[in-house]
């Protein structure tokens, strides 16, 4: 694998915890790679398995469900 | 003590001194019930001591 | 300044935001006193250099920051640190007391501390606009620098072979080394400025050609021509021009000078010439000046330096004629002058003295009389020129008569100072930037003049600040310097610089010194130093005091080393260390060396439970336990955590289990009160010295010690008491009484929280809502009189319309725009499908932007709005409100979080961050296109409440609600009112309860708003918030009523013991039975000599692992009562931990003083009660003495625990609210919502929640009423639109979704459809919270959450991946 490989990751984040955690990372100026795309959900419970599979099929390198 | 000029009518407002968890909780209840609230705190932010806490017992929930 | 939020573990600035999530999230400027000086330095500087700011930074040793502060204002700080004429120093207010601050030397010092070549280049967003600057002198360089930072492409045209102008060609190397100047010019080049040297405009290139290429031109060509010397023979070769001479020297050309040289003139250039000539080896150098030394325009220090270097001076002397011998200059004839009347310049005019002519032998004369401009080339463009050859401009803007051409510096003013040219360049740069943007150029500038201190002020300051001599910078010795061009100034050492910087008067105060740096940087222009403390008068109907508490000052116990040993800290400090947003970023390290501790000790009861503070702080035991658990989570299970304690006071819900868990995690509890802490020299470790239970001395070493510092009343308590006219108790906490826990002694003023007694969060929240309830009763008729309701226009129907998306991209000042390319993002947004409008705002959340958004919605007929800014968690409600006000459904709105989740977390990756921000905008637009309006259902509210249970809590809740004006259905299963309280006769403070109970019951019965049903059973409760319907039965008849809320106050009971011969021997009683005897049975029977009380009967065991909270207090209360009635009776209390929390501690102290004996036993060595011929015998192993003890006992009293009401389960089912595993009702959140259930509209009060004391039950009951009132005071409730919706056509009734629903909001229904049974599910919109678990479980797309449909989320995924659906 290429050493410079940066995986594109989709994060489904619960509004009440993981998404607010991501906000706190910002407020605290914690730096992390730019390759995460967070999608806000009202609860990680609403993340239908198809959403995850779909994303993987369409070429995302990883899916993170945070809740 | 100086008397407010309210023509004997009750004033639909309350002053809360201290914006910690107690002051905030009281303010929310009063505002939800139609009372105008003046919430005063000596610090530039509300939150009081609880804002300084990392976690709370016994659930270890985040205090923020 | 110490950061108080981090309990002093870190420092903060005078301008600060208390903590990242502060509300309001705004900066505060902490100004403690007026600045002692007038900051005249800053106002005297033509570019208002922030002198006080950078001098303060130097005083703090922050040299880089000091340089940066300089560089941000002045592009040539190194040069100015050497050659500036320093008007700052001349005006320095300390200079009115004694020597001024050596400001210029300090500037030079910081400039020498940084390697300019390594300074980072800021991110610059290019505008694509081109600007030409003519002349690379200080003015041109300054203009170019500022314009380049604004993103413009700048080219400088310079006629000379090198850039620098007069700085390079007129100032000699020994004053300003070329290398330093070059570094500063190189930095400007690194900003993207191109410098074309050796190009003379008007000769090598025409100004008109430049004009064709560039949108704006700055003329900064200076005044490089020397004024001619007048007089006979002045045109011969030996007489030269000073500027030309210096230029030649600085260019490194060979310069012919004679042995005897005269320099004519009195300015800096003349002196530069004279000193240069000296260095070139002339034998005799003289300076000839027509006025006196006092009138010389040259800087005093330059004159001094010249004199030191042995240069002769002829003052009041004017050369008149020059004679030559053999074709070379040989003599000059001068005439003596005298000073006459002042001339136009204010200086006295020199007048020749007739007949005073004399001759001087010279072979070279250098004329340094002043400079003139050379601006022929400007004529071609029609630029106006003054008679003296200068360019007239508007001094505030640099505008010339030709549009797009600006000018500044010596070309405008004639020869002047470097800093004036820089100032002119900077002013012109602002104008040029505005001109290029199309903004009006005229700007009002606030030019504050430097002010002097008056005499009185000087006198006061002299008293306050002792005299301190100015630090003098070292210079190269005269002998070493006159033979070469080495820099004369040697600069400050860091020690000297700091010493000198500390002299600055402004820097001597704590807090803001009004250096104005923040004001200068604030793009929103929000800083206003003129703001003063204001007195505001407000009219209120009631007051709640909740000022909290402060921690004890642990330096008062010096034996523990707090404040002396860095690794001894308080529990609150440790809390900050544990916090991810704390001073060490969540890295758990000790303060002395920032190393991870391996052994931590916690010491309890520091400033609590001692002689002066005979109360318990109530929460420290659990606080320490929690911190130990979290510390282990951070540092691993090998971390040693020892907690030194006296009694483990885990008396609230779930606390004992938590304590047990902590023990299982390996946290070691040592029952001992340590005597002292000593620091181990060298390692800064700490030795804790303590006694173990059999009084042996022991000690242990730790890396860090946490003191559980107790609570004290707030420091303002006495003042608050005085202002509000309320009473305090002996500890200076606010005084209350058990039956009035939230009431002060003054009517209308209520109380909440630790102000009345040390307490934990849930009790505080209960009291807060309780106090609110009292206010609501008091002000019931005024409710709603002072608040304004928002009105919204009718909603526009957008169904069927093609999406028209408006995107608003926010700069958030520099929070976003500083790290990602906002214009690029905005441009990109324009290319996205269905986007018809893109706006870019400085602050999208500002009020005027809300109006702008509304306008744009109307103007562009937008039907979807995307704001690309911060987080929806804080700002979505605001923007939804805005779009709603513009007539759109609020759910047609989406946010792209490009701040918290982009610009702030990718601060060093501008390109990639910009790319990500574009992606986030694309994702938001993709979702926005698919957004649909959502309906916010409103449900009407029935304004009555059901209260279940009529004990103390139920009655209190009912009365509170009735007093607030609401109807109450009070349902009691027993015949009598009163519940548990019926068995309580007196309280620990002596309060008789019977009268209180009677009066409560009477008030309940009399109150017209309360419908009381006794001996009634609840059959069922249907409905939801606002709309409940309950059926009850009484004596065979049933009744139904409707209500909007429910308060559960079902209470608890005393445990009926099975142990210790209870029931088998009548001499074994429970505490309640004893109390009955003591209160009403006339006391104990005669001959009862020994009473043994056994604690924790039916509590803290396997079956009921919780502490019953009341029993320790009850035992102490009854033991004291026995002693009161029969002092000779011996009372023994067998306990595990004495949990007399809060002020009850003092009764425990009293009990011991009265001779009541407390014997501690362990859970696995419980006491035994044995019946013998001579009576009862109690055997127990005394843990403190370590021996078995046997007591004869006439009476054994069991402190039986509290058990929940057995009906809780049924009632919980009716109301769809949960119980905990012990059978008590489970609140929505243990800390923050102790009165609420997760089910809306249902509330909890009293012992149904957990065992509690009278005052606690009352507070919680009042709180429940206040919480219920938040529902009942509304006519209708608007429900959240983001909830589940069923797609009937897709649903086949498989019912997969029903069980996972955490709110039990889905039911399976059947109906007839086309002669067949159709199964489908139905969502209760009121119960649904929109979590979407149903959506994720549905295999058929039969149910979805509004605003989060699968297609909408999919669209975001696709957009993120850049693929089509």
Indicate the SS3 state at residue C631: helix
3-state helix/strand/coil string of C905-969: CCCCCHHHHHHHHHHHHHHHHHHHHHCCCCCCCEEECCCEEEEECCEHHHHHHHHHHHHCCCEEE
Pick from C901, C920, C1350: which is nearest to A23 by CB?
C901
pLDDT the model gives residue A2:
63
- Per DSSP, helices labelled H in C39-137 are 40-44, 51-59, 63-73, 77-83, 87-91, 103-113
- Please judge whether C1357 and A51 are an interchain contact, meaning their C-beta atoms are less than 8 angstroms apart: yes
Asked if A19 is an interface residue toward chain C (Cβ–Cβ < 8 A), one would say yes
Of C293, C397, C300, nearest in space to C85 by CA: C300
Asked if A5 is an interface residue toward chain C (Cβ–Cβ < 8 A), one would say no
Neighbours of chain B (3+ CB pairs under 8 A): C
Q: pLDDT tier at A1 (50, 70, 90 boundaries)?
A: low
Of C967, C973, C972, C974, nearest in space to C1028 by CA: C967
The string of DSSP letters for C1004-1069 reads HHH-TTEEEE-SEEEEEEEEETTEEEEEEEETTEEEEEEESEEEE---EEE----STTBTTBTTEE
Neighbours of chain C (3+ CB pairs under 8 A): A, B
Asked if C878 is an interface residue toward chain A (Cβ–Cβ < 8 A), one would say no
- Please judge whether A24 and C580 are an interchain contact, meaning their C-beta atoms are less than 8 angstroms apart: yes
Q: Name the burial class of residue C756, with classes exposed (0-12), middle (13-18) and buried (19+) by CB atoms within 10 angstroms of its CB.
A: buried
- Residue C23's alpha-carbon distances to B43, C26, C266, C1079, in angstroms, are 10, 8, 62, 52
Which residues fall within 8 angstroms of residue A53, CB to CB, at 6 or more apart?
none
Q: Say if CB C807 and CB C835 are below 8 A apart.
A: yes
- Please judge whether C905 and A29 are an interchain contact, meaning their C-beta atoms are less than 8 angstroms apart: yes
Q: Which residue has the tokens 């023994």?
A: C1132
Question: Is pLDDT of A16 > 60?
Answer: yes
Pick from A15, A27, A55: which is nearest to C900 by CB?
A27
- Beta pairing class for C568-570 and C704-709: parallel
Q: Which residue has the tokens 């290398």?
A: C179
By C-alpha distance, the chain B residue nearest C650 is B58
Q: Which residue has the tokens 């100026």?
A: A29
Which runs of E-coded beta strand occur in C228-386? Answer: 239-241, 260-264, 284-288, 312-314, 317-325, 328-342, 348-352, 358-361, 364-367, 371-372
Distance from CA of B37 to the nearest CA of C (A): 9
- Residues of C with Cβ-Cβ distance to A11 under 8 angstroms: none
Q: Say if CB C803 and CB C834 are below 8 A apart.
A: yes
- The residues of chain C scoring below 50 in pLDDT are none
- Beta pairing class for C704-709 and C711-712: unpaired
Distance CA C670, CA C418 (A): 73
Distance CA C1287, CA C1273 (A): 35
Model-level pTM?
0.84
Residue from A24, A46, A64 to probe the interface with C (highest C Cβ count within 10 Å)? A46
Pick from C5, C771, C786: which is nearest to B36 by CB?
C786
- Residues of C with Cβ-Cβ distance to B3 under 8 angstroms: none
By C-alpha distance, the chain C residue nearest A50 is C1336
Of A39, A36, A32, A40, nearest in space to A8 by CA: A36
| Helix (H) or strand (E) segment spanning residue C1179 | strand C1175-1182
Task: Calculate ∠ Cα C302-C412-C103, nearest 5°.
Answer: 35
ω into residue C125 within 30 of 0, thus cis? no
Q: Say if CB C270 and CB C297 are below 8 A apart.
A: no
Residue from C22, C1290, C1361, C1365 to probe the interface with A (highest A Cβ count within 10 Å)? C1361
Q: Which residues pair with C319 in a beta bridge?
A: C334
Packed helices C418-437 and C138-149: angle between N→C axes, nearest 10 degrees:
40
Asked if C1230 is an interface residue toward chain A (Cβ–Cβ < 8 A), one would say no
Which residues fall within 8 angstroms of residue C1081, CB to CB, at 6 or more apart?
none
pLDDT the model gives residue C163:
96
Distance CA C900, CA C163 (A): 44
Q: Say if CB C713 and CB C706 are below 8 A apart.
A: no
Q: pLDDT tier at B64 (50, 70, 90 boundaries)?
A: low
Q: Which residue has the tokens 């708003």?
A: C1009
- Please judge whether A50 and C585 are an interchain contact, meaning their C-beta atoms are less than 8 angstroms apart: no
Distance CA C689, CA C700 (A): 7
Distance from CA of C1212 to the nearest CA of A (A): 25
Distance CA C388, CA C709 (A): 78
| Helix (H) or strand (E) segment spanning residue C880 | helix C872-885
Tokens of C932: 């649909």
B residues 15..54 contacting C (CB < 8 A):
15-18, 20-26, 29-36, 38, 42-54
- Please judge whether A47 and C21 are an interchain contact, meaning their C-beta atoms are less than 8 angstroms apart: no
Distance from CA of A27 to the nearest CA of C (A): 6
Pick from C655, C764, C778: which is nearest to B22 by CB?
C764
Distance CA C843, CA C867 (A): 11
Distance CA C130, CA C144 (A): 11
Which residues fall within 8 angstroms of residue C797, CB to CB, at 6 or more apart?
none
Asked if B62 is an interface residue toward chain C (Cβ–Cβ < 8 A), one would say no
Of C989, C548, C546, nearest in space to C758 by CA: C548
- Please judge whether B6 and C539 are an interchain contact, meaning their C-beta atoms are less than 8 angstroms apart: yes
Which residues fall within 8 angstroms of residue A3, CB to CB, at 6 or more apart?
none
Of C87, C478, C170, nearest in space to C305 by CA: C478
Question: Is pLDDT of B6 > 80?
Answer: no
Distance CA C1337, CA C1328 (A): 15
Distance from CA of C5 to the nearest CA of B (A): 7
Pick from B31, B32, B57: which is nearest to C625 by CB?
B57
By C-alpha distance, the chain C residue nearest B27 is C772
By C-alpha distance, the chain C residue nearest A42 is C1331
C residues 1331..1350 contacting A (CB < 8 A):
1331-1333, 1335-1336, 1338, 1345, 1348, 1350
Asked if C1354 is an interface residue toward chain A (Cβ–Cβ < 8 A), one would say yes
Of C598, C615, C558, C601, nearest in space to C707 by CA: C601
By C-alpha distance, the chain B residue nearest C711 is B49
Neighbours of chain A (3+ CB pairs under 8 A): C
The string of DSSP letters for A5-66 reads ----EEEEEETTTHHHHHHHHHHTT----TTEEEEEES-GGG--HHHHHHHHHTT-SEEEEE
Pick from B11, B33, B48: which is nearest to C1270 by CB?
B33
A residues 28..57 contacting C (CB < 8 A):
28-32, 34, 37-43, 45-51, 54-55
Please state the separation of Cα C964 from the chain's center in Å.
Answer: 39
Distance CA C776, CA C64 (A): 58
C residues 612..671 contacting B (CB < 8 A):
622-623, 625-626, 629-630, 653-655, 657-658
Which residues fall within 8 angstroms of residue C863, CB to CB, at 6 or more apart?
C796, C798, C801, C803, C804, C805, C888, C892
pLDDT the model gives residue C255:
87
By C-alpha distance, the chain C residue nearest B59 is C1230
Distance from CA of C829 to the nearest CA of B (A): 35
Task: Calculate ∠ Cα C78-C80-C81, nearest 5°.
Answer: 65
Asked if C544 is an interface residue toward chain B (Cβ–Cβ < 8 A), one would say yes
pLDDT the model gives residue C1174:
84
- Tell whether ipTM is more than 0.95: yes
- Residues of A with Cβ-Cβ distance to C908 under 8 angstroms: 31
pLDDT the model gives residue A24:
85
Residue from B28, B29, B61 to probe the interface with C (highest C Cβ count within 10 Å)? B29
- Please judge whether B57 and C761 are an interchain contact, meaning their C-beta atoms are less than 8 angstroms apart: no
Q: Say if CB C881 and CB C887 are below 8 A apart.
A: no
- Please judge whether C1360 and A37 are an interchain contact, meaning their C-beta atoms are less than 8 angstroms apart: yes
Distance CA C583, CA C1013 (A): 58
DSSP 8-state assignment for residue C119: P
DSSP 8-state assignment for residue C755: G
């Amino acid at each position: 694998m290429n050493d410079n490989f940066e995986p594109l990751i989709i994060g489904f984040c619960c509004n009440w915890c993981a998404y607010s955690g991501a906000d706190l990372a910002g407020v605290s100026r914690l730096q992390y790679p730019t390759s995460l795309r967070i999608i806000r959900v009202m609860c990680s419970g609403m993340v239908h398995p198809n959403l995850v599979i779909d994303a993987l099929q369409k070429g995302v390198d990883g899916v993170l469900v945070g809740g | 003590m100086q008397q407010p000029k309210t023509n004997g009518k009750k004033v639909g407002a309350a002053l809360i001194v201290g914006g910690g968890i107690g002051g905030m909780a009281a303010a929310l209840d009063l505002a939800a019930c139609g009372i105008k609230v003046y919430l005063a705190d000596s610090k530039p932010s509300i939150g009081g001591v609880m804002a300084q806490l990392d976690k709370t017992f016994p659930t270890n929930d985040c205090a923020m | 300044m110490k950061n108080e939020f981090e309990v002093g573990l870190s420092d903060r600035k005078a301008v600060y935001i208390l903590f990242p999530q502060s509300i309001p999230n705004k900066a505060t400027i902490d100004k403690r006193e007026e600045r002692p000086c007038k900051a005249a330095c800053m106002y005297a500087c033509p570019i208002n250099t922030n002198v006080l700011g950078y001098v303060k930074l130097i005083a703090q040793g922050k040299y880089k920051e000091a340089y940066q502060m300089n560089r941000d204002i002045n592009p040539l700080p190194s040069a100015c640190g050497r050659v500036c004429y320093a008007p700052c120093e001349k005006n320095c207010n300390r200079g009115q007391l004694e020597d001024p601050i050596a400001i210029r030397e300090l500037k030079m010092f910081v400039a020498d501390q940084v390697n300019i070549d390594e300074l980072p280049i800021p991110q610059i967003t290019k505008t694509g606009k081109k600007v030409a600057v003519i002349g690379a002198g200080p003015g041109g360089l300054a203009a170019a620098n500022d314009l380049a930072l604004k993103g413009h492409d700048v080219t400088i045209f310079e006629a000379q072979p090198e850039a620098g102008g007069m700085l390079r060609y007129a100032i000699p190397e020994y004053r300003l080394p070329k290398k330093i100047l070059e570094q500063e010019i190189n930095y400007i080049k690194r900003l993207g400025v191109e410098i074309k040297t050796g190009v003379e405009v008007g000769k090598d290139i025409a100004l008109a050609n430049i004009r064709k290429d560039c949108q704006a031109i700055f003329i900064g060509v200076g005044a490089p021509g020397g004024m001619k010397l007048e007089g006979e023979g002045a045109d011969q070769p030996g007489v030269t021009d000073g500027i030309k001479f210096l230029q030649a020297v600085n260019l490194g050309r060979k310069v012919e000078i004679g042995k005897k040289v005269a320099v004519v003139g009195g300015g800096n250039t003349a002196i530069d010439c004279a000193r240069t000539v000296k260095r070139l080896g002339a034998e005799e150098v003289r300076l000839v000046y027509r006025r006196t030394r006092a009138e010389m325009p040259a800087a005093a220090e330059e004159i001094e330096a010249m004199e030191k270097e042995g240069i002769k001076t002829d003052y009041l002397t004017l050369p008149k004629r020059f004679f030559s011998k053999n074709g070379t200059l040989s003599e000059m004839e001068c005439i003596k002058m005298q000073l006459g009347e002042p001339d136009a310049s204010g200086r006295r005019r020199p007048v020749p003295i007739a007949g005073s002519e004399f001759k001087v032998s010279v072979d070279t004369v250098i004329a340094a009389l002043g400079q003139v401009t050379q601006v022929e080339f400007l004529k071609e463009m029609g630029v106006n020129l003054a008679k003296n050859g200068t360019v007239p401009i508007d001094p505030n803007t640099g505008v010339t008569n030709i549009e797009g051409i600006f000018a500044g510096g010596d070309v405008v003013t004639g020869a002047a100072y470097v800093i004036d040219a820089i100032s002119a360049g900077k002013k012109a740069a602002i104008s040029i930037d505005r001109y290029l943007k199309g903004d009006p150029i005229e700007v009002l500038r606030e030019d504050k003049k430097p002010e002097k201190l008056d005499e009185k002020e000087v006198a006061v300051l002299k008293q306050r600040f002792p005299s301190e001599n100015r630090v003098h910078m070292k210079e190269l010795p005269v002998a070493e310097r006159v033979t070469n061009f080495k820099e004369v100034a040697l600069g400050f050492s860091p020690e000297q610089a700091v010493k000198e910087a500390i002299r600055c008067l402004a820097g001597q105060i704590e807090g803001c010194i009004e250096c104005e740096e923040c004001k200068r940087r604030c793009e929103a222009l929000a800083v206003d130093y003129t703001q003063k403390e204001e007195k505001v008068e407000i009219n209120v109907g009631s007051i709640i005091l909740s000022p909290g508490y402060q921690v004890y000052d642990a330096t008062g116990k010096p034996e523990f080393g707090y404040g002396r040993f860095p690794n001894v800290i308080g529990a609150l400090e440790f809390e900050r260390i544990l916090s991810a947003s704390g001073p060490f970023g969540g890295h758990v390290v000790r303060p002395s060396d920032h190393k991870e501790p391996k052994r931590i000790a916690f010491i309890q009861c520091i400033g609590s439970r001692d002689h002066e503070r005979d109360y318990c702080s109530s929460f420290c035991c659990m606080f320490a336990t929690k911190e130990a658990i979290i510390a282990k989570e951070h540092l691993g299970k090998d971390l040693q955590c020892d907690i030194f304690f006296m009694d483990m006071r885990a008396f609230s819900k779930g606390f004992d289990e938590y304590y047990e868990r902590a023990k299982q995690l390996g946290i070691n509890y040592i029952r001992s009160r340590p005597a002292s802490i000593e620091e181990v020299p060298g390692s800064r470790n700490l030795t804790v010295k303590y006694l173990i239970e059999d009084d042996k001395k022991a000690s242990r070493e730790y890396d860090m010690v946490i003191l559980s510092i107790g609570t004290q009343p707030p420091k303002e308590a006495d003042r608050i008491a005085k202002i509000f006219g309320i009473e305090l108790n002996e500890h200076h906490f606010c005084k209350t009484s058990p039956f009035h826990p939230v009431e002060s002694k003054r009517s209308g003023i209520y109380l909440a929280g630790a102000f009345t007694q040390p307490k934990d969060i849930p009790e505080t929240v209960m009291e807060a809502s309780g106090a609110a309830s009292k206010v609501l009763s008091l002000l019931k008729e005024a409710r709603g009189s002072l608040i304004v309701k928002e009105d919204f226009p009718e909603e526009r129907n957008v169904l069927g319309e093609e999406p028209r998306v408006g995107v608003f991209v926010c700069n958030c000042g520099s929070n976003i725009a500083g790290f990602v390319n906002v214009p690029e993002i905005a441009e990109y947004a324009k290319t996205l499908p269905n986007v018809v409008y893109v706006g870019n705002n400085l602050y999208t959340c500002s009020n005027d932007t809300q109006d702008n958004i509304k306008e744009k919605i109307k103007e562009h007929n937008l039907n979807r709005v995307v704001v690309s800014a911060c987080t929806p968690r804080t700002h979505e409600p605001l923007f939804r409100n805005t779009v709603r006000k513009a007539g759109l459904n609020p759910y047609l709105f989406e946010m792209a979080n490009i701040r918290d989740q982009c610009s702030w977390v990718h601060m060093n990756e501008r390109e990639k961050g910009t790319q990500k921000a574009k992606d986030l905008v694309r994702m938001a637009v993709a979702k926005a296109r698919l957004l649909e309006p959502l309906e916010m259902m409103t449900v009407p509210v029935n304004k009555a409440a059901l209260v279940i249970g009529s004990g103390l809590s139920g009655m209190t809740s009912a009365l509170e609600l009735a007093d607030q004006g609401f109807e109450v259905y009070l349902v009691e299963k027993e015949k009598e009112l009163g519940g548990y309280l019926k068995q309580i006769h007196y309280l620990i403070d002596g309060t008789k309860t019977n009268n209180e109970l009677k009066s409560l019951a009477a008030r309940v019965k009399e109150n017209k708003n309360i419908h009381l049903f006794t001996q009634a059973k609840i059959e069922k409760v249907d409905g939801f918030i606002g709309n409940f319907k309950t059926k009850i039965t009484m004596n065979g008849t049933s009744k139904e009523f409707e209500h909007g809320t429910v308060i559960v106050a079902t209470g608890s009971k005393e445990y009926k013991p099975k142990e210790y011969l209870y029931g088998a021997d009548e001499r074994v009683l429970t505490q309640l039975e004893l109390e009955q005897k003591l209160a009403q049975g006339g006391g104990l029977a005669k001959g009862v000599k020994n009473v043994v009380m056994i604690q924790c009967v039916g509590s803290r065991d396997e079956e009921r692992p919780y502490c019953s909270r009341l029993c320790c207090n009850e035992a102490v209360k009854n033991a004291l009562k026995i002693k009161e009635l029969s002092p000779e009776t011996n009372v023994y209390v067998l306990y595990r931990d004495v949990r007399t929390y809060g002020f009850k501690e003092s009764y425990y102290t009293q009990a011991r003083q009265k001779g009541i004996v407390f014997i501690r036993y362990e859970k696995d060595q419980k006491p035994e009660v044995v019946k013998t011929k001579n009576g009862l015998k109690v055997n127990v192993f005394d843990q403190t003495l370590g021996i078995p003890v046997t007591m004869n006992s006439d009476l054994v009293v069991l402190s039986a625990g509290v058990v929940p009401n057995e009906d809780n389960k049924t009632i919980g089912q009716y109301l769809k609210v949960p119980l905990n595993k012990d059978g008590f009702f489970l609140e929505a959140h243990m800390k923050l919502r102790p009165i609420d259930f997760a089910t809306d509209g249902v509330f909890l009060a009293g012992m149904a929640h957990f065992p509690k004391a009278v005052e606690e039950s009352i507070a919680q009951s009042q709180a429940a009423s206040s919480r219920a009132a938040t529902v009942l005071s509304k006519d209708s409730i608007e429900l959240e639109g983001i909830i589940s919706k069923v797609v009937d056509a897709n649903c086949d009734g498989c019912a997969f979704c029903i069980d996972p629903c955490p709110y039990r909001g889905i039911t399976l229904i059947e109906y007839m459809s086309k002669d067949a049974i159709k199964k489908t599910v139905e969502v209760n919109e009121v119960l649904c919270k929109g979590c979407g678990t149903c959506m994720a479980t549905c295999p058929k797309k039969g149910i979805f959450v509004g605003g989060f449909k699968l297609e909408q989320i999919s669209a975001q995924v696709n957009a993120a991946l850049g693929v089509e659906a």
